Amino acid sequence: MGREGYRLRVGRYRVLFTINAHHEPVIVQIEEVKKRDERTY
């Protein structure tokens, strides 16, 4: 919890990203979500 930035679910993956000063997305991390539970969205 408490992560800065945004997250986007794309299929089985969660993409964590921020927006830089030029208003462009910068990918921070890509996680595979193996199953959905109370900690995933």
| Mean pLDDT for the stretch of residues 18-39 | 88
Q: Residue 32 and residue 12: Cα distance in Å, rounded?
A: 6
- Residue 40: pLDDT band (50, 70, 90) is low
Check residue 21 and give left, alpha or beta (phi > 0: left; psi -120 to 50: alpha). Answer: alpha
Query: Sheet harboring 13-19: ordered strands across?
Result: 6-10, 13-19, 25-32
1 pLDDT more than 60: no
Q: In the structure encoding, which two tokens stand for residue 6, read together? A: 């945004």
* Residue 31 confidence (pLDDT): 94
| Mean pLDDT for the stretch of residues 33-40 | 72
Residues composing the chain:
41
